Structure 1
Amino acid sequence: MQKSVRLKSFELVAGDIRDVDVELLHALSISVRWPHRPKDWELFRRAGHGIVAVDGIGRVFGSAMWFPQGDNFATVGLVITTPRAQAQGGGRWLMDQILEQCGNRNLALNATHAAYPLYVSLGFTSEAIVYMRQGEVQQTLPALPTLGGELNELPSDRLTEITALDERAVGTNRARLLALLAKDASIATLSRGGEVVGYSMRREFGRGFVIGPIVAQNAWDAVHLTAVHLKNLEGRFTRVDTRERDGVFAEFLQRSGLGVAETVTTMSKGRRFLNREDKNPWVYGLAGHALN
């Protein structure tokens, strides 16, 4: 794979994303109005692998990352190019190298409107729409449905209580990713009959907080697993990424002050990523745009 590319008047070289000053990555995301803080970039660099497109004097013109989840699956994210590089094919050059690194793994990603045609040309197929809901949490939350179980806080050293549930919902083992997220997260679980049937995480991200993953057996459980975090965030900027377009969960988020700011498209390459089944847990809130 070509490790450098000439884009008209300048040449870009591929470098390991771990070798770049995190402040340069922060500047890159700011240039395209993405909210990632240096601390968020550090988390992503611990969670996955990636490359940056750098010119001869060390300026960063693009990034792309992939996050292994199990042995045969990965998510792709943080694919960012400056307008100058994007217009000259920088995005495709970055993705070609990411696909080479991922080998034969099945892949999933969330495509922005601008990047969607590129991913289609690379063989990705659409599966669902993600509604990126965000805003300042209302001072008074909507009335909650009857709680069917017991809510508890989960210490980060007891993640084994939720990893099997998460694997059933996602279809792949995310134990390593959950451990990384949990280091700076507040975790809630919902139990019935002594069995954990749902969980949620809240952590700082971007302008405020993100709630996700949210894994539950039904929308009513998902509401409670979200509300337990929102009640401590009144007036704070909060984000939930969900594939629920309408219904109980989406309406609760809307009435809590989290309106749809943007949509992206979940796409896959290889096996189908989303396989929702009755009586199985479901991901009501994503871990993050790049992580699914």
Structure 2
Amino acid sequence: MIRETELSVRDFIYPLFVCEGEQVKREVKSMPGVFQYSLDMLDSELCELESLGIAAVLLFGLPSHKDECGSQAYDENGIVQRAVRQIRADHPKLFVITDVCMCEYTSHGHCGKLTPSGDVDNDATLQWLAAEALSHAQAGANMVAPSDMMDGHVAAIRQALDQGGFSNVGIMSYSTKYASGFYGPFRDAADSAPAHGDRRSYQMDPANREEGVRMAEIDIAQGADMVMVKPALAYLDVLRDVRERLHFPTVAYNVSGEYSMVKAAAQNGWIDEKRVVLELLLSIKRAGACMIITYHAKEAARWLSEVDHG
């Protein structure tokens, strides 16, 4: 009767990895229970999500080939663009969000165009990101989610969407994304590890709490409809700051490393997986998240349903 925070299946956004090929349902070795799907294998997964009450998905693409300019990212027949069209046709009630970044598509694995010295060219990358976001909107995406951490990316994408006639397509910005060690398993899932160096020059310093709020504030001013804190568990203080100080819809990404640690401990019998997962997700909600992107979504939805039905 006096419970202050409620966790619901309506809070979850489920990440999906789509790949080229046929009859592909490939488990990610470092993420038990998470798979890469070819488009012909996607329908059963989407039906399961809808049956569980999960209403939103976040799409990541694994292209057939990569090049220096990440051309598959903004190709109208790219893997994500085709996946969006298929989902919107077959599952029109699902809310489709697409990740907008270059790291899965570039041969060097960085999130943008490289200069001759090997640094990421922030301003030149904005054109690629805007083209990618626009191609997703043209395919039918409800919302785009730029995860690249380039300065000015939200403004560039908002302008491209509005000029392209897609002012109704929202932007969920990865506004507060830290240079974290928790992303390792995702790079297996999305085949997006950088070929050299790392991403610390454009992702945030984990020591910086105030900067996290400022970055979210900048993206709001540029036209973001939702902002995000990523990772979630090690940055609950930042999540709370962003939500309380900016009073704006705030998403938390319960990232791959957080997921895989729980899975590994559960497989070894060291923790009660159900209890720990629901406790962690509740803590993210309690800290201020409006929505939670989590690989635990399907299991959590089942467990919450068990609670609701006694």
TM-score normalised over the length of structure 2: 0.28
Query: Comparing both structures, which one devotes a greater share of its residues to helix?
Result: 2
Larger Rg: 1
Between 1 and 2, higher relative CO (CA 8 Å, sep ≥ 6) is seen in 1
